[in-house]
Amino acid sequence: MSSSSTTPSPTQRTPLYAQHLAAGAKIVDFAGWEMPIHYGSQLEEHHQVRNDAGMFDVSHMVVLDITGSGVTDFLRYLLANDVARIQTPGKALYSCLLNEHGGVIDDLIIYFMADNWYRMVVNAATRDKDLAWIRQQTEGHDAEIRERDDLAMIAVQGPNARDKAHTALGASIDAARELKPFFAADCNDSKGDLFVARTGYTGEDGYEIILPAGQAGSTWEALLAAGVKPVGLGARDTLRLEAGMNLYGQDMNEDISPLEAGLSWTVALTPEDRDFIGRTALVKQKADGPANKLVGLILEDRGILRAHQKVITEHGEGETTSGSFSPTLGKSIALARIPAATTGHCQVEIRGKQLSARIVKYPFARNGKSLFD
């Protein structure tokens, strides 16, 4: 086997770094952050989330508060999805941030907080380019972007995640009890604000909790005491892959439109008079019919699908964009971008051999269960 070496660069630590070390984390560099890849076994952590409750430190993600009297108009211009759909406090929306060509600069979640105030969570790896782009677009709008580096973020996910979170955090998050999926509640208590959203990146129920950095440690410890186990970025990736959720930079990028990334449902082309960045390109692409589509693959031969393997179909070639062993299915799965007309089966080239894969509609697993035999 070959060993890899990484170039040393200044890295950052989240407020939970000590907790990771205490839990036996194997630390890796992720987008300039020293993050836990696993705490012993990625497979066990994966099953922990599908079957019970796990927690992730996602404090490296970027929380932005966007405020101003023109903020709704600004966001309706900036984002491919339409914030007019979330004019209720706490309501969340998934959207792509597009360039003029309809390519994806990043994907994000945005929450309506109050009149003239939205909260956006974007990816750590794209932080600088996102901020530069968003600030550049504010010209002519009364909208101000504030980076909330004072906040940490913990995702608690799994069928028992919400119960255990309420046991751990008690009255401080009572306001979250009645939340519907994709809604958030601002829970104020004496120690500070806990922003609790019923969202996630695993295909399981649970919360994403945004909280003051100084409260992260005690919150983590309380969750740990309630039986929520730490889960690293490794299992986060296999969980989101099984759930059929795109990973920015891997399943989509600035050369790929949401229509070719399985994200048409996040592009609000109506009302037709809403002008947003990338609209013209997407309308044209939709009329022409996108050349490619994103599908799920289940490998039928022995082996493991990985990103960037060649896919051979009767309509031409494609490529896997994410691939792994699926702990829930016990088989290898992938997301792949292939010619739009393809259905049925395809071949994937792995180390010179062509292996057979079944083309399926993702997600592969959700709410603790495999969706395939």
Which residues lie near other proteins (CB under 8 A)? Answer: 1-3, 37-38, 41-43, 46, 234, 238, 302-304, 306, 324-325, 327, 332, 351
Smallest distance from other proteins to CB 200, Å: 20
Q: Which is nearer to other proteins, 135 or 308 (CB)?
A: 308
Give helix then strand counts, H and E, for the chain.
8, 21
Please give the distance of CA 86 from its chain centroid, rounded to a whole number. 19
Grouping H, G, I as helix, E, B as strand and the rest as coil, residue 298 is strand
Q: Which is nearer to other proteins, 168 or 348 (CB)?
A: 348
Beta bridge partners of 360: 296
Smallest distance from other proteins to CB 41, Å: 6
Q: Give CA–CA dist 358/246, Å, rounded.
A: 19
Q: Which is nearer to other proteins, 106 or 237 (CB)?
A: 237
Q: Which is nearer to other proteins, 1 or 287 (CB)?
A: 1
Smallest distance from other proteins to CB 224, Å: 22
Of the CA atoms within 13 Å of residue 344, those in its CB half-sphere come to 9
Q: Which is nearer to other proteins, 42 or 266 (CB)?
A: 42
Q: Which is nearer to other proteins, 46 or 127 (CB)?
A: 46
Six token digits for residue 215: 């409260």
Pairing of strands 54-57, 229-230: parallel
φ/ψ of 197, rounded to 5, equals: -115, 140
Q: H-type helices in the chain, by residue range?
A: 17-22, 42-51, 71-78, 127-137, 161-169, 213-225, 233-242, 279-288
Q: Is the dihedral of CA 47, 52, 58, 63 positive or negative?
A: positive
Smallest distance from other proteins to CB 34, Å: 16
Smallest distance from other proteins to CB 241, Å: 11
Smallest distance from other proteins to CB 84, Å: 41
Smallest distance from other proteins to CB 359, Å: 21
Amino acid present at 74? F
Smallest distance from other proteins to CB 330, Å: 9
Q: Which is nearer to other proteins, 38 or 164 (CB)?
A: 38
Q: Could you tell me which of 70, 244, 58 has the C-alpha nearest to residue 142?
A: 70
Q: Which is nearer to other proteins, 43 or 283 (CB)?
A: 43
Six token digits for residue 137: 């677009």
Residue with tokens 């292939």: 338
Six token digits for residue 335: 């997301």
Smallest distance from other proteins to CB 8, Å: 12
Interaxial angle between packed helices 127-137 and 71-78, expressed in degrees from 0 to 180 and rounded to the nearest 10: 120
Smallest distance from other proteins to CB 232, Å: 10
Grouping H, G, I as helix, E, B as strand and the rest as coil, residue 266 is helix
Q: Which is nearer to other proteins, 45 or 57 (CB)?
A: 45
b vs e for 220-253, b when ≥16 Cβ sit within 10 Å of the residue's Cβ? bebbbebebbbbbbbbbbbbbbbbbbbbbbbbbe
Q: Which is nearer to other proteins, 180 or 302 (CB)?
A: 302
Pairing of strands 151-157, 206-212: antiparallel
Q: Give the number of residues written for the chain.
A: 373
